[in-house]
């Protein structure tokens, strides 16, 4: 165990008896050797294939010497911005700088640059002019072709060109990175590696791309938003490894960026091999004195059971990164990892999660996907479950029971998300019963996202009636089990298609539920999602029909404020939104009103005039249907989600 971690400096490299690394891996995150971190997986996969990898974590991007830690690597540099796009990592949806970075020691912000892949790539090129540079990770994957960049509000070129790199290994990368390494090790020049699945490359001779589908040129994309919508949808329909075509994006008469079809999904045996590698399962010990790496706390006692998602949410980039074909680990692999977790010093008996992008997806949505791929023009769950959908939780239920039976395990939680429409598509209720009886701790977080069906349609989500049916079945099951457990809905404001009218409807839903969320997710236009394409172009690329897009920061603030209408600090925004939406009927003293009128001369942010005998406005965070407070002399009862639903139960 002397060499538990890969080397992070030259002295550690020499301790291993190496005079040179094959690959120097430059990463924007702290070095965490855990399979939830992309750099850990890729570096360990390369190590398992006999390659020497050194880690250069969060180099000083203003100093070229910071990437020369190991000297020139024998085969090339690998570059990743980290587990998040660097711009999402740095900025909120309002483009304000975040204060902390969970992927940096001590949570310190500012240890990586904006557009990290491009900056690191150019930093390397200052010293190493000819050494191969291969980009990977989420930032490179989602920016692999021309893309809309929310932070600069313009179409940007493929990151391959802006970084000075030679190739992009997109997606999860295990297959493509080994093929790249083997080719370079065999002496094939990097510019000749134009054929590897799961890669994006530069081509300067059009005759070398005879079978590609040509996209509009970069010049066309910057001039015509509809051309961008059509180009994006072509890319969206070519994300399946079995059916996708090679795509070519012209930048000049002598330069094309070419995307090869995605790599094939991993088999269960390959998944087991990847997650069974010799990970240290924690951050590098050099970070201990800085307070460790905060991100490890979220995943340290969790199990990744699957990857890929056939949910098809428009605002999610998983289609472009992991794909729609679900890939899973075996029970034996997961049980072995769970056993190992129970022996860690800080383990208290709780496995925090068993899942992936969607926890209850444990196999491909239908049998044909592993042979023929996913349908280009049909979704598995949207607008309704496909008739060929194999909605079966049996395997997941068996896995969860085995995990519960491990003697040291007290509780197994499911926190990575339940797709409720898929749960309802199963004829039996055995998973819902297991979920409620064993895997919820009081509250289950779910993501209906909205209540307006037109908005949900643009989101790629089921109609609101489907969520309503799920809430009823969830309540029924908990009553049957004698449990008091409640749903906590995730809601999104300002998604394309949402006018103030739809935002008011969402506020009314929160009123009727007696629930004001402490946080609301304002739609964030991240690279390479259908929703981001709608945001930029004003059309749905699937139909090319116009879509209303709330773009102004003020309107977005009003939509967000409506969901949190009980917060006195947001009174002015809610009041303005209701006037603009023509819903002044919701300003008053009745039980269905959202806010009270404000008398003349009253200060901004006030809750409004109080009628004689009427109760005071609640403080932010309080919720419930009425506006009452505790009787004089009686202690106030804290109004939580649990208490709200208990009231609803008593009214029945």
Which residue ranges are tagged as binding site? 309, 313, 316
What is the residue-wise DSSP string for 329-351?
Answer: --HHHHHHHHHHHHTSTT--SEE
The CA-CA-CA angle for residues 126, 131, 132, to 5°, reads 115
Q: Helix or strand or coil: residue 92?
A: coil
Q: Which residues sit opposite 449 in a β-bridge?
A: 491
* Degrees, nearest 5: CA angle 519-501-486: 40
Interior angle at CA 99, CA 293 and CA 551, nearest 5: 125
Burial class (CB in 10 A: 0-12, 13-18, 19+), 204: exposed
Give CA–CA dist 283/298, Å, rounded: 13
The tokens describing 114, both together, are: 């904006």
- Strand, coil or helix: 303: strand
Q: Where would I find the H helices in 379-499?
A: 394-404, 420-425, 430-438, 453-459, 464-481
Q: Are 318 and 361 in contact, with CB atoms under 8 Å apart?
A: no
Cα 143 to Cα 200: distance, rounded to the nearest angstrom: 11
Pairing between strand 545-546 and 539-540? antiparallel
Compute the distance between CA of residue 53 and CA of residue 186 in angstroms, rounded to an integer: 17
Number of residues in the chain: 652
- Could you give the 3-state DSSP secondary structure of residue 101? coil
- 320 and 142 in contact (C-beta within 8 Å)? yes
**Pick from 231, 286, 245: which is nearest to 533 by CA?**
231
CB 9 within 8 A of CB 56: no
Q: Report the DSSP beta bridge partners of residue 489.
A: 446
Cα–Cα nearest to 219, from 249, 259, 257:
249
Q: Residues annotated as binding site for [4Fe-4S] cluster?
A: 309, 313, 316
Count of alpha carbons within 13 Å of 25, Cβ hemisphere only?
A: 29
**How far lies 594's CA from each of 337, 452, 498, 611, in Å?**
50, 18, 19, 16
Around 158, how many Cα atoms within 13 Å sit in the side-chain half-sphere? 29
Distance CA 513, CA 421 (A): 20
DSSP three-state, residue 217: coil
């Amino acid at each position: 165990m002397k060499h538990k971690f890969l080397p992070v400096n030259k002295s550690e490299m020499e301790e291993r008896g190496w005079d040179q690394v094959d690959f120097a891996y430059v990463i924007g995150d702290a070095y965490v050797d855990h399979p939830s971190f992309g750099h850990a997986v890729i570096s360990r996969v390369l190590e398992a294939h006999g390659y020497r990898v050194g880690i250069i974590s969060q180099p000083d991007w203003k100093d070229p010497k910071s990437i020369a830690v190991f000297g020139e690597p024998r085969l090339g540099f690998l570059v990743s911005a980290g587990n998040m796009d660097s711009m999402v990592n740095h900025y909120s949806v309002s483009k304000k700088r975040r204060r902390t970075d969970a992927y940096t020691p001590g949570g310190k912000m500012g240890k990586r640059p904006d557009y990290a892949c491009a900056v690191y790539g150019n930093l390397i090129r200052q010293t190493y002019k000819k050494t191969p540079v291969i980009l990977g990770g989420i930032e490179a994957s989602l920016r692999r072709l021309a893309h809309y960049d929310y932070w600069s509000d313009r179409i940007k070129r493929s990151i391959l060109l802006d970084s000075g790199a030679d190739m992009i290994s997109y997606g999860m990368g295990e297959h493509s990175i080994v093929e790249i390494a083997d080719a370079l090790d065999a002496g094939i020049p990097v510019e000749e590696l134009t054929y590897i699945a799961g890669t994006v490359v530069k081509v300067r001779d059009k005759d070398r791309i005879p079978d590609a589908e040509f996209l509009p040129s970069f010049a066309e994309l910057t001039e015509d938003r509809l051309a961008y919508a059509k180009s994006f949808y072509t890319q969206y329909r070519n994300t399946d490894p079995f059916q996708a075509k090679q795509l070519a994006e012209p930048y000049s008469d002598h330069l094309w960026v070419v995307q090869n079809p995605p790599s094939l999904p991993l088999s269960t045996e390959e998944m087991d091999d990847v997650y069974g590698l010799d990970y240290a399962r924690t951050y590098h010990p050099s970070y201990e004195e800085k307070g460790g790496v905060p991100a490890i706390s979220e995943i340290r006692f969790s199990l990744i059971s699957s990857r890929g998602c056939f949910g098809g949410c428009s605002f999610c980039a998983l289609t472009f990164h992991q794909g729609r074909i679900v890939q899973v680990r075996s029970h034996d692999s997961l049980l072995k990892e769970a056993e190992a977790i129970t022996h860690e010093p800080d383990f208290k008996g709780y496995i925090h999660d068993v899942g992936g992008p969607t926890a209850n997806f444990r196999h491909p949505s239908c049998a044909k996907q592993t042979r023929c791929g996913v349908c280009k023009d049909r979704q598995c769950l949207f607008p309704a479950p496909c008739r060929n959908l194999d909605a079966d939780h049996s395997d997941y239920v068996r896995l969860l029971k085995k995990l519960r039976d491990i003697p040291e395990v007290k509780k197994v939680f499911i926190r990575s998300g339940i797709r409720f429409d898929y749960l309802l598509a199963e004829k039996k209720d055995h998973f819902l019963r297991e979920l409620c009886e064993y895997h919820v701790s009081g509250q289950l977080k779910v993501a209906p996202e909205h209540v307006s069906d037109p908005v949900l349609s643009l989101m790629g989500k089921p109609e609101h009636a489907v969520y309503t049916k799920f809430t009823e079945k969830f309540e029924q099951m908990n009553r049957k089990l004698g449990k008091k457990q409640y749903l906590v809905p995730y809601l999104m404001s300002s998604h394309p298609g949402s006018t103030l009218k739809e935002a008011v409807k969402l506020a009314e839903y929160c009123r009727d539920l007696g629930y004001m969320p402490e946080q609301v997710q304002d739609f964030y236009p991240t690279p390479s999602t259908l929703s981001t394409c709608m945001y930029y172009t004003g059309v749905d690329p699937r139909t090319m029909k116009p879509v209303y897009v709330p773009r102004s920061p003020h309107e977005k603030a009003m939509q967000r404020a409506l969901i949190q209408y009980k917060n006195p600090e947001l009174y002015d925004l809610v009041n303005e939104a209701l006037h603009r939406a023509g819903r002044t009927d919701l300003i008053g003293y009745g039980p269905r009103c959202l806010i009270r009128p404000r008398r003349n001369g009253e200060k901004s942010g006030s809750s409004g005039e109080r009628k004689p005998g009427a109760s005071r406005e609640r403080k932010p965070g309080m919720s419930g249907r009425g506006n009452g407070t505790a009787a004089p002399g009686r202690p106030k009862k804290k109004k939580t989600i649990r208490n709200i639903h208990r009231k609803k139960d008593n009214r029945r």
